Amino acid sequence: MSHPIRDRLWAILDVARPGDRLSRGFDIGLLALIVLNILAVIVDSVASINRRIGPALNAFEWFSVAVFSAEYLLRVWSAPADPRFARPIWGRLRFMVTPMALIDLMAVLPAYLPMLGFDLRFVRALRLLRIFRAAKLARYISALRLFGDVIRAKREELVLTTCVFALMLLITSCLMYFAEHEAQPEAFSSIPAAMWWSVVTLTTVGYGDVHPVTSLGRLLASLSAILGIGFFALPTAILGSGFIEEVEKRKELRGRTCPHCGRELS
């Protein structure tokens, strides 16, 4: 059943459609608040600045929590306006477990934990979760949405390359442990300890804090470094092709409208 107030509220809270000035103004205001929150998290970590403007930062934090909490509750209430969440109860529950809704919740949850009886030391550590507010930018910045679309489209290929990397990590760690354990019992004390060397080698970082000294170990290290260079070309190629496909798809949809609601396809 159509609900004019709820439908209009959802349109305002959603990314602005062309010509919707109120929704556009809301988007800009919320974007500005998110950016200011990111700056506040950074400034809050500087002790000398925090001592001078700590009360102001705290007041701004509670203002932000109030705004983001109201935004989250209004999104949950108006969610049935979207056909994906049309059922009053089940639809709202489905909306609440979507990635962006979970990010919205994580942006405000740390502020309410002290009221629920959590240890204040634990809460202070969780205050860093305020940086989740930066993820809210993905709702309004098309480049970030494009990145998310590419990840979803190529998730099977990316999962496959992650599994291959995990297998390579296990094999190189085991081989390096057996090659170097006797020569360096402290550096390669176990296979899990050897995994640190495998990670920095396969990713071609090579910190040099742990390195092989035996001839067999150096041979294995050379092969691992070459494999690492070749391996990391795979996800780069997958993401590159995904971006090209997604951009072409958006170019084809640009200017086309839905025959039912008249909105521009995206």
What's the half-sphere exposure (Cβ side, CA atoms, 13 Å) at 63?
12
Q: Could you tell me if 195 and 166 are in contact, meaning their C-beta atoms sit under 8 angstroms apart? A: no
Residue 34: both structure tokens together:
């998110």
Is this model's pTM higher than 0.75 or not?
A: no
Distance of CA 19 to the CA centre of its chain: 30
Structural domains of the chain sorted by starting position, each given as residue range(s) with its CATH number in brackets: 4-140 (1.20.120.350), 155-245 (1.10.287.70)
The reported pLDDT for the residue numbered 258 is 57
The reported pLDDT for the residue numbered 261 is 55
Give the C-alpha distances (Å, rounded to integers) separating 132 from 107, 204, 216.
5, 30, 46
Question: How many helices (DSSP H) and strands (DSSP E) are in the chain?
Answer: 11, 0
Q: Spell out the per-residue pLDDT of the chain, length 266, in tens.
A: 568 889 899 988 887 777 888 988 988 898 888 888 888 888 887 888 888 888 898 899 889 989 999 999 999 999 999 888 888 899 999 999 998 888 888 888 877 877 766 555 555 555 556 666 677 776 766 666 787 788 888 889 889 988 988 999 999 999 999 999 989 988 898 998 899 989 888 887 878 788 889 999 999 989 988 888 888 788 888 888 888 888 888 777 665 655 555 555 55
